[in-house]
Every structure is written in C-alpha cells, then in structure tokens.
Chain A
Amino acid sequence: MSRSVDVSTNERAYFIEGLKAGIRLNGRRFDEIRYPHNIHLSKEEYGYVELEWGKNKISVRVSSYIRKPFEDRPFEGIFNINCEINSMASAKFENGKNSDEEVLISRIIEKSIRRSNSLDLESLCIIAGEKVWNITVDLNFLNYDGNFIDIGCFGVMLALQHFKKPDISIINGGEDIIVHDINEREPQPLSILHVPVCLTYCFYNITNQQEVNIKGESTSDDIYLLDCDYKEDLLKSGSIIITLNKNREIIQLSKNGGIPIDASLLVDLALGSIKVVDELTDLMKKLIKDHEQQRFDELNLKLLQVGADR
C-alpha cells in the first residue's frame, strides 16, 4: 500500500476551470517546462551532479571500476543505472518497496538512456573478454515535485558528460593494465553517442464526458500539459513520455493507459518537443563547457598543454 495523497474538490475545480480558461495554477504556459536551476557540477569529483528542476531535487553520481565482461559480450563494457526512490523525496514513496510509479520511472530512464545505446559500450572495453569498465550511475531523488522522468534523464545525461574515467595503459603485450591516478594523467571522458531528452506530457479530459471515451474517439477538448508538477500529476487522466534527441530521432515513446489520444496529436507533440529538446541539449553542452573552462583556468592547465596554438 502506497501512501495516498488527497486532493480536495476545491483544488480540482480551480484546476479544471483554470485549464478551460487557459490558465495553469503554477502560472506556466501549457507547453512550458520548468528549467533546471541551482545546477552544481562537482569540482572535486567527476560525474557528481546536483540539480533542481522546479521544486524537484536530485543528485546523480557516476562511478566506474574494472571487471570481467559478460561471457556473451566480450567486447562490451557494462553500464547500469540505479534509481531507487525512497521516502526522502516524498512520504508517498515507500522505502524498500517499488510502487508501479517507481518502476515506470526507472524503466523509462533505463530505456531512454541505456537501451538507446547513448553510451558507447565498446569504447569501455579494455582487454576483450578479460577487462572492461563497469559504469554505474546512481540517481538519487531528494525532493519530489512531479515529473521525475524528465529530470532524471536530464540529470543522468549531464552527469555522464561530466564524468571522466582514469586513463589506462596496457602493458606486457596485453597481459596487464595500469590504472593511472587522475593526478598523474588527465582522465578520459566517456564516449557519448547521442543525448536523449525525455519529455512528459499529461492529458486532461476537462469535459468529463465518459461516453466519448468509451467510443474511443478523442475530443478536441483534451488538453495536454508539458512537465507537470506534483498537483497536476495527481489530477492527470493520462500521459505520454516521448524521448528524443537533437538528431530528431524518436528514441522511445510510451503511453501507459489513460485516455486515448489522436494520432495527429502525437505528431504535433513530437514536432513541438524539438524546440525544448534543442534547448535542453544546448544547456547541457554549455554547462559542461563552462565547467571545463573553469577547471582549466583554476588548475592552470594551460601550463601543461603541449603543442603550439594554431
């Protein structure tokens, strides 16, 4: 039994009447996301990121170690994402027990990032069949305010781009390896093939016309909201999660029950998402670049640079 949250009829009425009048209770436009803020990229540790997104708060840590690869995949490194939600985020999540919502969140993030091959696993191979890198992402949800999927995906991708694994040398003709201390040799970033961005749209049937739903026809009155907060999420009558990347590829699409939507609306949503995807990808890129520059300046790495400026 997961703890339930009760919504009063007053809040519901305001929410629905607001939607009819084109107002979201949080003052955003229907297709407006809350942009991440208070982003902290750790200067001491590679791959440690904290960020807030509305009132959502997460911390992500990437770590690595060397292990033997799986028998059937000798050329591939191992990549996994841990995301367990505990009651720190909200008392509605139970400790040590996966609610359907939690499973959905972790599955979608896994599907969007790991199974879309956004991390080049072959580049993680050190000695085929013997030694590969194991990359683990720990995604910790600290505070919940709706839409953990989008924020989780953003956080993981940001942390993966921030992460660097120690440099290695292979010696004795491929028998042994040396893991260089990060202070000895500049560590290597991961090879990321593409950056998936998840966007969740929630649907609302504001007319409450049950009969229409049974017939399977969607009404033009259906309203969708991008990036729902806590309250909007509680009141939703359906949602769709689209994962896209900057190359305009749809990576995954999932719609888990709820009210039916029109096929043409789906195309509109995907097209409408492109702008947001571009913005978020560029934001990640900028954050990483600024951070690198800052580190470069602070550590005076210029002194260590070999080769003349062209």
Chain B
Amino acid sequence: MSIILPGDKFPVSRNHDESIDITLGPGLYKSVNSDTILPVQAGIFQSKPIKKQQQLYYIDSNSRRYIPQTNDYVIGTIVGVVGGESYKVSLQDFSSCVLLSMMAFPNATKKNRPNLQIGQIVYARVSNAGNEIETELECIDPTTGKDGGFGLLDESGYLFSITNLNFTRELLFNSESPVLQKLSTRCKFEIAIGINGKIWIKCGDGLVINKSDVDMDIDESSTNNKNSTTNISSKKDILVTLAAVKYLTACQHKSPDQIDTVLTQSFINI
C-alpha cells in the first residue's frame, strides 16, 4: 500500500514509455502551466491498465462530500421543480442541487410526464457532470431505453446516509464484500446504494402504509382498529430495517473480522 500526500512527486516516471497513454483519475491533477502531474489528495496510489497501451492512475482517498461524476449511481431527494421541465434534486445536504429532466424517464413524452412529489427519492445515474455546467441526472438506461432499475424508490424502504463515501462505493461495486452477504443471513432485504452516501433499504415487506388509513380519518374508531392491525404486521419489519441500518452504519468503521460481532449486536433485540 503506497501512501501519497499532496505535493509528493508523481511516482511514475513519464518518459518511461512514450507509447503508453496515461489516464488520470481522481486525486491527480495536471498543472495548467506546466506538464507536471501533481497528486492533490492524500490517499493510496493506484495504477491499473485499462486497455492496451493505456494506463490509469488515481489516488484512492476517502471523502465525506460527494462531487458528481458522470455515470455515478446516486440517490437523490426531489426538492423542487425548475421551469416546469426538470426536477431539482438534492444529492447531499448543503451541496448544490442537480437537475433531473422530466424527459429522462423511460417512455416520457411532453404529454406523459412522471409525477414525482417533493420529498420523494429517486435512484438515478449522473448523465452529465462537469465543473462548468449544471449536473444532470437521468432515470433511464441509455443502452436499452428502459428503466434499468432506476426511478422512484417507494416509501416502503428507509433512506439513510453513510458518511464514508468510499464505503458505499465498496458496497455497490464489490460483490465479494462480506457486509451484505452477512446481512442476508439475518433478513430478507432489498437495497439501493447511491455512491453519494445514501442507501435505501427495505427489509421483509418494509413499511406497509395502509392507504385506507388516510381516508378513514373521519371515523376514528375504525382508524384505531386499522392502526393496530397494520402495526402488528409491519412493526417487526421496521425493527429489522432499523437494525440493518445500524449494522451498515457501524460497518464503515469496523474491520472485516469484527463484522460478525456488529451483526449480532445490531440484531440483539430481534
């Protein structure tokens, strides 16, 4: 593991082989004025061949603030509508909001628009990101034109944040990661991981909101009856979901051999 600090010398000599193209990833910066490559973040230096004659260099470093990059999978909260054409979406508290066009949904037309409310959450892909332009999301798989798993994440699941952004990246991309596999021994769950540090999770049937609850407000006695029946069926699922949240939040600060203990602790009352 080679640790690199800002200002250190770029560890690969560049005139080594002229025929190899270099791709710079996060943490590395090519100075505008000179031709030198500077590490600008502290982290673990990584180098990977991506194609023939092409080498990728980047610095693996952890961050708590999400900066959008094209093709990232994210979970955003709808916070408003811009110009009747796009939704304003928040990816992280206090960060600049991004845009989600109403046309960026499968089968969307001028007439047939998605109907999302403020506060609802979506799973989306960053389609356009760059410093100089406004970041855009889309809820569509560009290769098939279908939803591809993107779109509204319904209220049966719980949304929570992980501060350690690299940990969410690990959960999403490393299929070998024991964290989710171990969780599956305890409960049945459905999960959506956004690498902006947001995770949507639903254990069992998740939260079952009886729609009739709302309509029957006038008749109090029957509402109460309804309440008690829904409570029994979904209370356990809520508890399991919360335990899973506790487990996943704790895992970001634990080494792999501690996972089992964390799991037992989180599910202690269930």
Which of A8, A207, A208 contacts B159 (CB under 8 A)?
A8
* Those of B153-185 within 8 Å (CB) of chain A: 153, 155, 157-160
Report chain A residues within 8 Å CB of B207. 13-14, 17
Stretch in contact with the other chain, from A21-29, A67-75, A155-163, A291-299:
A21-29
Identity of the chain A residue whose Cβ is nearest the Cβ of B94 in the assembled complex: A91
Within 8 Å of chain A (Cβ to Cβ): is B239?
yes
- The answer to whether B241 and A14 have CB atoms under 8 Å apart is yes
- The answer to whether B93 and A9 have CB atoms under 8 Å apart is no
- The answer to whether A21 and B238 have CB atoms under 8 Å apart is yes
CA distance A9 to B122 in the complex (A): 11
CA distance A10 to B202 in the complex (A): 11
Tell me the smallest distance from the CB of A55 to a CB of chain B, in Å: 11
Task: Count residues on chain A whose CB falls below 8 Å from chain B CBs.
Answer: 23
Which of B79, B93, B235 contacts A23 (CB under 8 A)?
B235
Identity of the chain A residue whose Cβ is nearest the Cβ of B202 in the assembled complex: A10
CA distance A17 to B236 in the complex (A): 12
Main secondary structure of the interface of A (DSSP, over half): loop
- The answer to whether B117 and A9 have CB atoms under 8 Å apart is yes
Within 8 Å of chain B (Cβ to Cβ): is A286?
no
- The answer to whether B157 and A27 have CB atoms under 8 Å apart is no
CA distance A5 to B94 in the complex (A): 7
Within 8 Å of chain A (Cβ to Cβ): is B77?
yes
* Those of A227-252 within 8 Å (CB) of chain B: none
CA distance A92 to B77 in the complex (A): 18
| Tally of contacts, chain A with chain B, CB under 8 A | 65
- The answer to whether B242 and A8 have CB atoms under 8 Å apart is no
- The answer to whether B217 and A207 have CB atoms under 8 Å apart is yes
Tell me the smallest distance from the CB of B203 to a CB of chain A, in Å: 11
Give 1 or 0 for each of A186-216: 1 = CB within 8 Å of chain B CB: 0000000000000000000001110000000
- The answer to whether A17 and B246 have CB atoms under 8 Å apart is no
Within 8 Å of chain B (Cβ to Cβ): is A20?
yes
Tell me the smallest distance from the CB of B91 to a CB of chain A, in Å: 11
CA distance A265 to B76 in the complex (A): 40
- The answer to whether A6 and B235 have CB atoms under 8 Å apart is no
Tell me the smallest distance from the CB of B39 to a CB of chain A, in Å: 28
- The answer to whether A18 and B157 have CB atoms under 8 Å apart is no
Within 8 Å of chain B (Cβ to Cβ): is A3?
yes
Tell me the smallest distance from the CB of B252 to a CB of chain A, in Å: 15
Which of A7, A10, A21, A27 contacts B158 (CB under 8 A)?
A10
Tell me the smallest distance from the CB of A16 to a CB of chain B, in Å: 9
Identity of the chain B residue whose Cβ is nearest the Cβ of A24 in the assembled complex: B242
A13 and B94 contact, Cβ closer than 8 Å, known pairs A6-B77, A21-B238: no
Tell me the smallest distance from the CB of A133 to a CB of chain B, in Å: 42
A20 and B227 contact, Cβ closer than 8 Å, known pairs A6-B90, A11-B159, A207-B217: yes
CA distance A116 to B119 in the complex (A): 43
Seen from chain A, the residues whose Cβ lies within 8 Å of a Cβ on chain B are 3, 5-14, 17-18, 20-21, 23, 25, 27, 91-92, 207-209
Seen from chain B, the residues whose Cβ lies within 8 Å of a Cβ on chain A are 77, 79, 90, 93-94, 117, 119-121, 153, 155, 157-160, 200, 207, 209, 217, 223, 227, 230-231, 234-235, 238-239, 241-242, 246
30 contacts between A and B (CB under 8 A): A3-B94, A5-B93, A6-B79, A6-B93, A6-B119, A7-B119, A8-B119, A8-B159, A9-B121, A9-B155, A10-B121, A10-B153, A10-B158, A10-B200, A11-B159, A13-B155, A14-B158, A14-B207, A14-B238, A20-B227, A21-B234, A21-B235, A21-B238, A23-B238, A27-B246, A91-B94, A92-B93, A207-B217, A208-B217, A209-B217
